[in-house]
Amino acid sequence: MLTFLSMLPNKLLNGWYLLHCNHHMSNNTPVNDDDYGDESGSDSSSNPTNLPVLYDVIIIGSGPAGYTAGVYTSRAKLKTLIISGTLPGGQLMTTSEVENYPGFPNGIFGPELMMNMRQQAERFGSIITDDEVVRVDFKQRPFVITTHSQIYEAESVLICTGASPRKLGIPAEGRFAGRGVSYCATCDGPFFKGEDILVVGGGDTAIEEATFLTKFGKSVKIVHRRDSLRASKILQDKAFENPKIKFLWNSVVADIKGGKKIADVIVKDINNKTEQTISAGGLFVAIGHEPNTSIFRGQLEMDDKGYITLKNQTRTSVDGVFAAGDVHDYRYRQAVTAAGFGCMAALDVEKWLTERKQQQQQQEIPKRTQYIQERS
């Protein structure tokens, strides 16, 4: 997954654009009521009463986890709304070739893969709205989800909001993103055969990625802002023993130079403030990720870094709220693992809703019996 949208073939981008335009129109298309029993089966944008529409499940986020979950829940005839967020399709929309997603022996463009997933979810009845959730209320039932333009209600919620790679924060970073700057060695490493590579960071990810990148690169230099690593001892030892890896201690990336592609990285020593120019074909930023969980703060249990903590597979601390993908998984962070988690969570949602319905029916029996007795 290397280049950004700007480097994609026009044909593909046009397809993506058209899909988006068509999609906005399809938001107003009422869903066949037969699919959903006697409930109103439309997005609230076509809801004449303007009262919140109740969904069996609302999926927040539209990366591989969200769309895969949508395929499963809508195929199981659950009334499903996917709220796609600010970047419909997630991180893969800003990448080009994906070589490690199974089923595509010649690779597939990230946006094309995500369009396919989106269409597959829609095919089974998922309603997708390109909006952003601004507030959730998990304290009342049904749960209340507020976006910029609508209020929705849901019996269950599945959070697939993912995580974003932490950025260096220098102006050149965005300019060279996808042109030599990468945030995922597993995804992009094979594109850097024979190159001199720099890796920024001193945690497990940076050291693991640097070691992985030695398979492809001519040399790998780790730029770290301190003089010792945060990474686990075993990973450190492996890196120190690797003849292809060198360390630039107490150093930060000050600038990136190049034309269409990255050519040089300016590295600054933070103690003596001197700068050196290092020629490099690739710069991998591995300084951690930020889970996209700010809107759930105070409503769900999270770890100290803000990742949602799970119990019983995909359940969160609130009964009826589930999570899947990078929003809880800081270890694997692959499209295929996120899709797998999406599938697991969807199956858990379905089981939870079925069990809840059965419980509610059981609770109804004494009331009905009493009613019949009173009338007879």
Which residues are near ligand NAP by CB under 6 A?
166, 200-206, 208, 225-226, 230, 252, 287-288, 330-331
Q: Specify the 3-state DSSP secondary structure of 48.
A: coil
Q: Which of 184, 326, 329, 343 is catalytic?
A: 184
Least gap, CB of 251 to ligand NAP (angstroms): 9
Least gap, CB of 333 to ligand NAP (angstroms): 9
Least gap, CB of 239 to ligand NAP (angstroms): 12
Nearest position to ligand NAP, beta carbon: 203
Least gap, CB of 261 to ligand NAP (angstroms): 23
What is the maximal distance between C-alpha atoms in the chain?
A: 94
Least gap, CB of 38 to ligand NAP (angstroms): 47
Contacts 24+ apart (CB under 8 A), 356-361: 356/155, 356/320
As a whole number of angstroms, the distance between CA 222 and CA 251 comes to 9
Determine contact, residues 345/316, Cβ cutoff 8 Å: no
Structure tokens, 267: 């590295």
As a whole number of angstroms, the distance between CA 199 and CA 333 comes to 18
Determine contact, residues 335/343, Cβ cutoff 8 Å: no
Structure tokens, 66: 């969200």
335, with CB counted inside 10 A (0-12, 13-18, 19+), is buried
Which is nearer to ligand NAP, 156 or 161 (by Cβ)? 161
As a whole number of angstroms, the distance between CA 288 and CA 163 comes to 10
Which is nearer to ligand NAP, 200 or 220 (by Cβ)? 200
Structure tokens, 223: 């730029």
CA distance readout (Å), 100 to 1, 60, 285, 331:
9, 25, 20, 17
CA distance readout (Å), 274 to 101, 197, 270, 282, 318:
43, 21, 8, 22, 52
Beta strands in the chain (DSSP E): 53-60, 80-83, 97-98, 108-109, 127-129, 133-137, 143-147, 151-159, 163-165, 181-182, 196-200, 219-223, 245-248, 251-258, 262-269, 275-279, 282-285, 289-291, 321-323
Which is nearer to ligand NAP, 79 or 224 (by Cβ)? 224
Which is nearer to ligand NAP, 128 or 248 (by Cβ)? 248
Least gap, CB of 175 to ligand NAP (angstroms): 18
Q: Which of 43, 187, 329, 348 is catalytic?
A: 187
Which is nearer to ligand NAP, 8 or 310 (by Cβ)? 310
CA angle 25, 26, 31 (to 5 degrees): 145
Least gap, CB of 326 to ligand NAP (angstroms): 11
> CA quadruple 332, 337, 343, 344: dihedral positive or negative?
negative
Which is nearer to ligand NAP, 162 or 201 (by Cβ)? 201
Q: Which of 43, 130, 188, 326 is catalytic?
A: 188
| Residue 184: active-site member | yes
**Active site amino acids:** 184, 187-188
